[in-house]
Structure 1
């Protein structure tokens, strides 16, 4: 190549490099060791401002009845009728089972005859005592025997009544606990019933959620079911006043509104969402990607400081990190109104020039 042409090519290259360097200085960008302008990186920013102070958790809920009871006879005997069917609904006062009535009816008849005899003995002894033929002590003894016979008759009649088992409330029959034609003893469970006048759901709530709540009324619950569109409002009924032995959780019972869903029976599951107000002064929420670990294990963030209309520089700021809900991170030690690099801060240097990321754009 002729020497003149080589000189001209080198001169044009130098002019291009010099122009790029001047342009980079005009735009506030950095220049590499070769003198070529380095591109200004775009960074996504988040505002360091307190958001709505609330924490939210999802729980596995188990449907429960208002009450679940095991019914039994107060007397023993032969179970001759047991018409209930598992899974059916029975009305209040409906017949659930009864024992053989014969022995109890005979006991009532025997007690009635004994009372009649005791009343006659008392009348005879009273007349003799008035005529001074018999002592007053004998009259008092026959009166006591009469009173005992009355008590025995009441007991016999109550035993006959207890031989019939009726539903104490409108209930769902959960299970039959014994077989028909069995000789049952007093107190042996016969049938298990669910009181479905109120449908409830039970969840285990961690101690942390209650400690962060600003008050009992600040915890709000709603449930999710595939059969129902949208959230279902739930009302707090009660909770155990002591934590479970495993996991430090409280058993919380919630009330569901009236839902005409046949499959919503005890043992079914639903998702329960609990949200609670928390102390807004506990810190500023930031994504985990915004935090940068330091050599001394202290956490840092990159703060964006605007310079001009198109960009600015970044600087490192040490912060204190806490966790309110156990899943979200909050920081303190940031100036008011600061803009934080949301991700990629570990790729930036102190004082490096950057520009805010505003999304992709297409030029026509």
Structure 2
């Protein structure tokens, strides 16, 4: 049954009171009451996912590339050998250094024997004490030469070891920048490695939001790869330096992605629950909200006007919507007012309406 309207009291449902002529021009609508709602404001921002760790790897020595064990897209573990240089020359230098260390050790043994012999002869007064002192000095010099030779051998061992390039952390090879047969030098990138077990989301946040976002804020991250799901995140860094051109600051989120579904370089959206709440909000059905061409939002409320029920347009700020409900600021609509939820698409401001029972 359709009901016409008398002027609406603040908290009373519309009542019937229209003549037949008015009925012919009134637009049929359905309404519901606006309900009070306390809203913890949420901030929605988009940004770019980046890997928490990524590196352009270079060899630890100059040399000729002998083997590249990986290719772009390969998963590698920390410590896995990715590339080898030809170690032939370095290996020969290592053999020479080891031989010199062996020679120095032999000299130490011989000079030590001479010192022991000289000590016995001095005790028998067969030689002068100056001879013992000379042999002792020669022994000390021999020991120093041995230490130097052994250090040179250890250094050369490290040089040989550096002809292999291990993975500094687990991840995926993003780029392969060299091939076997190329001569490379230290500092020249040969591989690009990206860790995908931990990703971060960099956001540019309006500067006026800086004080509202604290380290304990609840954060959820949404991305195309998640198929509508979300992942928890936490604030890793809040850089208090604004971009003077955009008036924004950097907010870096650390995303927990154990299944490695998020891909570095892709875009994602973050939902941040701000630390303050609003008391001037009301909850209404989502169908009541109309999006304007300029991007703003409006709705219609039913008011009484000289014995006629009419629709009045109110502009609102949409804060949040979920499960068919929308939360808007109370500046455009107040608690208890009747809001049009059906038949509002073709309404105009001030148009007479017939209200279906809510």
TM band (smaller chain): 0.5 to 0.7
- Cα deviation for residue 112 of structure 1 reads 1.1
Q: Is the 8 A contact 1:173 1:193 kept in 2?
A: yes
Matches within 5 A, 1:154-303: 154-196=154-196, 198-207=197-206, 210-211=209-210, 213=212, 215-225=214-224, 228-236=226-234, 238-243=236-241, 245=243, 247=246, 248-259=248-259, 265-267=263-265, 269-277=266-274, 279-281=276-278, 283-284=280-281
- Cα deviation for residue 96 of structure 1 reads 1.3
- Per-residue CA deviations over 1:279-333 (Å, capped at 9, x if unaligned) read 33453359998xxxxxxxxxxx9895899xx988999xxxxx99989xx973569
Cα distance change, pair 314–182 in 1 and its aligned pair in 2 (3 A):
closer
Q: Is the 8 A contact 2:47 2:268 kept in 1?
A: yes
- Cα deviation for residue 199 of structure 1 reads 4.2
Judging by fraction of residues, say which structure has more strand.
2
Q: Report SS of the residue matched to 1:154.
A: helix
- Cα deviation for residue 159 of structure 1 reads 0.8
- Cα deviation for residue 53 of structure 1 reads 2.6
- Per-residue CA deviations over 1:136-167 (Å, capped at 9, x if unaligned) read 43332222111111111100111111111123
Q: Does 1:108 align with 2:94?
A: yes
What RMSD in Å do the two structures reach over aligned CA positions?
A: 4.5
Q: Is the 8 A contact 1:55 1:275 kept in 2?
A: yes
Mark the runs of 5 or more structure 2 residues left unpaired by the alignment: 1-15, 119-128, 291-299, 321-326
When the two structures are superposed, what TM-score results if normalisation uses the length of structure 1? 0.64
Q: Matched residues in 1 for 2:153 and 2:92: separation?
A: 11
Q: Equivalent of 1:75, from 49, 56, 61?
A: 61
Q: Is the 8 A contact 1:304 1:341 kept in 2?
A: no
Cα distance change, pair 302–101 in 1 and its aligned pair in 2 (3 A):
closer
Q: Is the 8 A contact 2:37 2:282 kept in 1?
A: yes
Greater relative contact order structure (CA < 8 Å, 6+ sep):
2
Q: Equivalent of 1:124, from 78, 91, 110?
A: 110
Q: Matched residues in 1 for 2:319 and 2:22: separation?
A: 41
- Cα deviation for residue 181 of structure 1 reads 1.8
Give the greater-gyration-radius structure (CA): 1
